[in-house]
Structure 1
Amino acid sequence: MSVKLTGLLKPQPTSRLLLEASAPSTAPAQPGEGQADHQEPGTALLPERRLQARVDVAIPVQIESKGGPHQARTTDLNVTGASLRLLAGQPALGADERSGRLVLRLLLKQAVPPIPASASGDVSDLTVPGEIVWGGLDGTEARTPRVGIRFLHDSANVQCTLAELVGKLLTFCGQADDRPDMVQLLSQQVEWLTGDGRRIAACQDGSLESHPGAPLVIIAPGYGETKTDYVTLASYLAANGFHVLRYDHTNHVGESDGEMAEATLSSMNQDLGAVLDYANRKRPTSPIVVIAANVTGRVALKRLAQDHRVALLVVLTGIMDLQAALRAHQEDSIVTFLRSAGLGMMNLLGLNVDGDRFLSDAIKEGYADLLTTIEDAKRLQTPVLFFAAEGDPWTQPDAVKKVLASLQTHEAQLYLIPDALHRLRDNPRQTLALVRLVASCCMERFFPDRSRKGLVEPSPRTIAAQIRVEQERARARHSKRKPALREFWRAHLDHTRHLLNVSAYWHLLEQVARLAGPLERGERVLDPGCGNGELGLFLLTQQAYRLRGEPGPKFLPPQYVGLDFVPSALTSVRMNLAQAAAEIRDKSPATVMAHPLLTTTLLVADLDSPLPIHDNHFDRIVCNLVLGYLQDPLFTLREFVRVLSPGGKMVITSLKPQADLSHIYRLTTQQPGQPEAIEAARRMLLRFGTIKQAERDGMFHSLTRQEFALLLFASGAVQISIHSAFDDQAYLAVAEKLPR
């Protein structure tokens, strides 16, 4: 058998976005020097810096204010607020009403378009408190007053009702770009039950130009991915005449039934079989293409070795040697499992699963190593295209080449991708080149005449709109009530009490402290989302070392204020700081302890609500690995700017979307004689696996560099710079407040 090998051209690198910015702006950031003046599909943002989708819906609203009742209608709505247009003849809201609290009654039964009924068949009106954040007149001749409302609900029931309401109304089918040369794309949610009663959630994508008998492409998302990760690929395929069916695995992240903890490769195999059955029922005359990524590529290889209904298999960065991938990610979990059962919950390839269930299934069902993959490949009759990342330790191109050599089919082709690419979302620019190549390959095979005319490019804005809709729908589906969210973070903090034992985390705090600037004159430092108080402990230690070098009353101690919405965390902070101070006192000379090291205040407060702090109060704000987990990051950043003193500085960190903390775990295990550090790193990896799963389910959102910068601009901060930190797993932003 001959195998054709093709290289994939690497896109030219561009300068990093928004490394420095010197002026506040509410306009989208301009490209930096050497940066392309366009955005890749799927990464372009519609003008919505709150990172929350708005739905266009007209809901009658009765407003109760100090000045009396008003009548209005919503023009758009999201989970945190709404835009209202006062009805004709209604007076504008006065100054007292603008600064006061309003009560809004949303008459949901009269909404246009109608709101889908719940399972009980009832649509109830909703009462929610709010405040005005902006006001003005619309651009019509009538000059009707309009206001922007921020909801101030403190009820978990109201919060969940709003999330469910927005989720029901989030549908997008068509164009966000009205250019006549752009092909019209159509997306539709579908779901069905498998033979054992599990619900599979999917999305059908197509265009008005797609022929009924055109090929149907099934996109099986990789391990740790959802159907939303493949909107860009689906859009390119749909724009070029294919029907596309994207789905979420059961027992996995996404919208299908089941919990990630119960994930197995056999379950993924059964899901793919159920999707193939569905595809044959819905489009019996269409040839079927299966596109599968990373671990799912291995699953598809086994499925199609026995199931011959597929005309083409495309494997994207497929993991052909599971044991080697696990070893590269963290450790040889298969050997560990064989030596001792009872592994329990563990982090595998970035997400937490029942280790015993997952690994026993992989071994028993023949997924565990390269030899079992080669045995499946020998039985494969389907033509196959492999796209392998050259520098990726998970996928290992040499293993892919061995699998290709064992294939009996004469139609096999390998494309090599420069650099590592575990998952499509890891590198948007690299992903776009891959998406275009995959679409072109499918075109050449099924539409050879059309392919010679070139690839049809879908609208980037349409792709971005569809991604946003699906992300917000997932967020609404998985939204947690505030008590459940508080319990989630309490458990997280309980398992990460010893983060300071991890050297990479200590180095992160050193970088934060260095960029925040010296603390020598009694500066007031706010630590919002302080967790277990690691920053306070670091500042305490730092002050002790400083006074050892220069004893005397030269330095005034910083005034540290820790703030968190988990009361038990603040209790731990108080105990940790007291214990650390006692240890420093026992080990330090009297000249050091003659002066206070740190004054401490701890407050219970929710960062999704207005901070209980006066304006212009703090000299420094340090918010560490919190921002991406907030309901409305822009609101919180504006609160930070409000309480920051003129000329004050804030340092904010956020994990990158593609963060992989197994790298930090491996570095820690390589340090001899530090069992406490290794255990702390293991717990960190496990808990961040839980957070990553919640992020994949839409609960949280890790900020890209561009999103981070846009939010800081919109907050009113100036002198913004963004750096890499935490062994390249996080972004670190430094910004200031305009001096008087």
Structure 2
Amino acid sequence: MTTKAENIHGEFLEKESGEKIFLLHSPSKLVKTYGHVIIVPPYGRNAHNSVFLTQYLVQNGFDVTRFDPRFSVGRSTGNVEKYKLSVVQQDLMTVIEHIEDSLNVPLCILTMSLSSPVAWRVANKVPKIQSVVTTVGVIDIVDTVEKAAKDELFLSERCEMYRRGELFDPSHTMMTEVLGLDIYGQEFVADLVNNDFCNASSVLEDIKSLQIPTHMIFAGNDKWVRPDLVEQAKQLSLKGSQNIVIPDLPHDFGGNAVAAKRICEKIVKLILQEFCQEYEVTPFFPRVVDIVRSASVEAKYISKMIC
């Protein structure tokens, strides 16, 4: 079903297991479409939370697809207690496969924070991806999660214990608070180790291996991402990639409308420069009041969707 006002289209992709992935599609509002952007939500956020950025993109000539990974905070199957980065990776691959036959424009993956390593890894696997844009991308997942937690998680020690086979059953029901949400800590640790997400060196290798531009926006006041790793990531990215550091910006800027606006403007400029080199394109920045109105229409649309 589609709303006439905003031309939003939502759907549920059903996997062979019966589990479902919720998608939102928003077409370009320009006659000319320059590219297709898939937004991968960061941990603790859902597809609708990216409505602000989506409006910037569609107003500048991009089709946008958003999705809720399974076992996250959105409308897809499962609750966030079983959140795993490997599931986010699987679901991103599924979404790409779902739309790739209809693609006739360049594909860009856009994400932020904890989901960034997923985007870098998938971009090494899928030839159709022509660009990756990350904001406050996490490079050392274990270090960032430990810094962001209210209590000591000892994630690095638990990862080492799991490698040595000393950690108890990963399906154990002990809960761990990660960035304000409770998840099954042992399952999270097991997933990091089994899928090679627990080492910064593995993430940096994914960045180094990319043969496409990976534009990275970093926060100048990021207390959760190590500055030395930021510098390494910048050095390893493919020549032609743009790496931007925004002074005074914290990692968790989501509640700051002014900061969000600055980020959206940076992202639009980056993607337009990447995909519209042969065109003389001037970025258009929508009014906040119009975005709020669009967000309200979208929220009502989503509330009426039945799984």
TM-score range, shorter chain: 0.7 to 0.9
Q: Does 1:401 align with 2:231?
A: yes
Q: Is the 8 A contact 1:172 1:466 kept in 2?
A: no
Q: Is the 8 A contact 2:54 2:64 kept in 1?
A: yes
1:146-295 alignment to 2 at 5 Å? 172-174=3-5, 186-211=7-32, 214-283=34-103, 285-295=104-114
1:474: how far off? 5.9
1:424: how far off? 5.2
State how far apart, in whole Å, the 2-side matches of 1:186 and 1:463 are.
Answer: 14
Name which of 293, 311, 323 aligns with 2:130.
311
1:550-565 alignment to 2 at 5 Å? none
Q: Deviations over 1:647-681 (max 9, x none)?
A: xxxxxxxxxxxxxxxxxxxxxxxxxxxxxxxxxxx
State how far apart, in whole Å, the 2-side matches of 1:473 and 1:346 are.
Answer: 34
1:420-435 alignment to 2 at 5 Å? 420-423=249-252, 425-435=254-264
Q: TM-score, normalised by structure 1?
A: 0.38
What one-letter code is carried by the residue in structure 2 that aligns with 1:308?
P
Give the 3-state SS of the residue equivalent to 2:245 in structure 1: strand
Q: Does 1:462 align with 2:307?
A: no
Q: Deviations over 1:688-724 (max 9, x none)?
A: xxxxxxxxxxxxxxxxxxxxxxxxxxxxxxxxxxxxx
Task: Describe the shift of the 1:282–1:196 C-alpha distance in structure 2 as closer, same or farther (beyond 3 A).
Answer: farther
Q: Is the 8 A contact 1:210 1:242 kept in 2?
A: no
Give the 3-state SS of the residue equivalent to 2:7 in structure 1: strand
Q: Does 1:350 align with 2:180?
A: yes
What one-letter code is carried by the residue in structure 2 that aligns with 1:456?
F
State how far apart, in whole Å, the 1-side matches of 2:183 and 2:74 are.
Answer: 15
Task: Describe the shift of the 1:347–1:476 C-alpha distance in structure 2 as closer, same or farther (beyond 3 A).
Answer: farther
Name which of 210, 221, 233 aligns with 1:380.
210
The corresponding residue for 1:446 is: 275
Name which of 390, 395, 398 aligns with 2:220.
390
State how far apart, in whole Å, the 1-side matches of 2:141 and 2:14 are.
Answer: 29
1:90-101 alignment to 2 at 5 Å? none
State how far apart, in whole Å, the 2-side matches of 1:363 and 1:233 are.
Answer: 32
State how far apart, in whole Å, the 1-side matches of 2:176 and 2:143 are.
Answer: 17
What one-letter code is carried by the residue in structure 2 that aligns with 1:463?
I
Task: Describe the shift of the 1:422–1:473 C-alpha distance in structure 2 as closer, same or farther (beyond 3 A).
Answer: farther
Q: Deviations over 1:467-526 (max 9, x none)?
A: 224445666789xxxxxxxxxxxxxxxxxxxxxxxxxxxxxxxxxxxxxxxxxxxxxxxx
State how far apart, in whole Å, the 2-side matches of 1:216 and 1:477 are.
Answer: 24
1:268: how far off? 0.4
1:279: how far off? 1.9
1:378: how far off? 2.7
What one-letter code is carried by the residue in structure 1 that aligns with 2:77?
D
Task: Describe the shift of the 1:208–1:431 C-alpha distance in structure 2 as closer, same or farther (beyond 3 A).
Answer: closer
Q: Is the 8 A contact 1:325 1:394 kept in 2?
A: yes
1:362: how far off? 0.5
Give the 3-state SS of the residue equivalent to 2:111 in structure 1: strand
1:112-127 alignment to 2 at 5 Å? none
Q: Is the 8 A contact 1:308 1:382 kept in 2?
A: no
Q: Structure 2: which 5+ residue stretches go unaligned?
A: 162-166
State how far apart, in whole Å, the 2-side matches of 1:395 and 1:370 are.
Answer: 11
1:455: how far off? 1.6
Q: Is the 8 A contact 1:187 1:203 kept in 2?
A: yes
1:278: how far off? 1.4
What one-letter code is carried by the residue in structure 2 that aligns with 1:192?
L
**Higher relative contact order by CA 8 Å / sep ≥ 6: 1 or 2?**
2
State how far apart, in whole Å, the 2-side matches of 1:476 and 1:328 are.
Answer: 39
Q: Deviations over 1:570-622 (max 9, x none)?
A: xxxxxxxxxxxxxxxxxxxxxxxxxxxxxxxxxxxxxxxxxxxxxxxxxxxxx
Q: Is the 8 A contact 1:337 1:343 kept in 2?
A: no
What one-letter code is carried by the residue in structure 2 that aligns with 1:430?
A
Q: Does 1:367 align with 2:197?
A: yes
Q: Structure 1: which 5+ residue stretches go unaligned?
A: 1-115, 117-170, 175-184, 479-740
| Structure of higher CA gyration radius | 1
Give the 3-state SS of the residue equivalent to 1:209 in structure 2: coil
1:318-337 alignment to 2 at 5 Å? 318-330=137-149, 331=152, 332-336=154-158
1:318: how far off? 0.6
State how far apart, in whole Å, the 2-side matches of 1:405 and 1:418 are.
Answer: 19
Q: Deviations over 1:222-244 (max 9, x none)?
A: 11111112111111111111111
Matched positions, count: 295
What one-letter code is carried by the residue in structure 2 that aligns with 1:240?
N
1:635-654 alignment to 2 at 5 Å? none
Q: Is the 8 A contact 1:383 1:411 kept in 2?
A: yes
Q: Is the 8 A contact 1:392 1:420 kept in 2?
A: yes
1:316: how far off? 1.0
Q: Deviations over 1:284-331 (max 9, x none)?
A: x22100001111111111111222221100011111111110221123
Task: Describe the shift of the 1:353–1:233 C-alpha distance in structure 2 as closer, same or farther (beyond 3 A).
Answer: same
What one-letter code is carried by the residue in structure 1 that aligns with 2:264?
V
Task: Describe the shift of the 1:234–1:436 C-alpha distance in structure 2 as closer, same or farther (beyond 3 A).
Answer: same
Give the 3-state SS of the residue equivalent to 1:468 in structure 2: helix
Q: Is the 8 A contact 1:255 1:474 kept in 2?
A: no
Q: Is the 8 A contact 1:324 1:369 kept in 2?
A: no
State how far apart, in whole Å, the 1-side matches of 2:99 and 2:224 are.
Answer: 31
What one-letter code is carried by the residue in structure 1 that aligns with 2:269?
S
| RMSD, matched Cα | 2.5
Task: Describe the shift of the 1:372–1:206 C-alpha distance in structure 2 as closer, same or farther (beyond 3 A).
Answer: same
State how far apart, in whole Å, the 1-side matches of 2:47 and 2:16 are.
Answer: 21
The corresponding residue for 2:164 is: none
Q: Deviations over 1:434-493 (max 9, x none)?
A: 1011101111222236555x2223343332123224445666789xxxxxxxxxxxxxxx
State how far apart, in whole Å, the 1-side matches of 2:31 and 2:97 are.
Answer: 21
Q: Is the 8 A contact 2:140 2:199 kept in 1?
A: yes
The corresponding residue for 1:411 is: 240
State how far apart, in whole Å, the 1-side matches of 2:204 and 2:28 are.
Answer: 38
Q: Is the 8 A contact 2:29 2:58 kept in 1?
A: no
State how far apart, in whole Å, the 2-side matches of 1:301 and 1:457 are.
Answer: 28
What one-letter code is carried by the residue in structure 2 that aligns with 1:323?
V
Give the 3-state SS of the residue equivalent to 2:215 in structure 1: strand
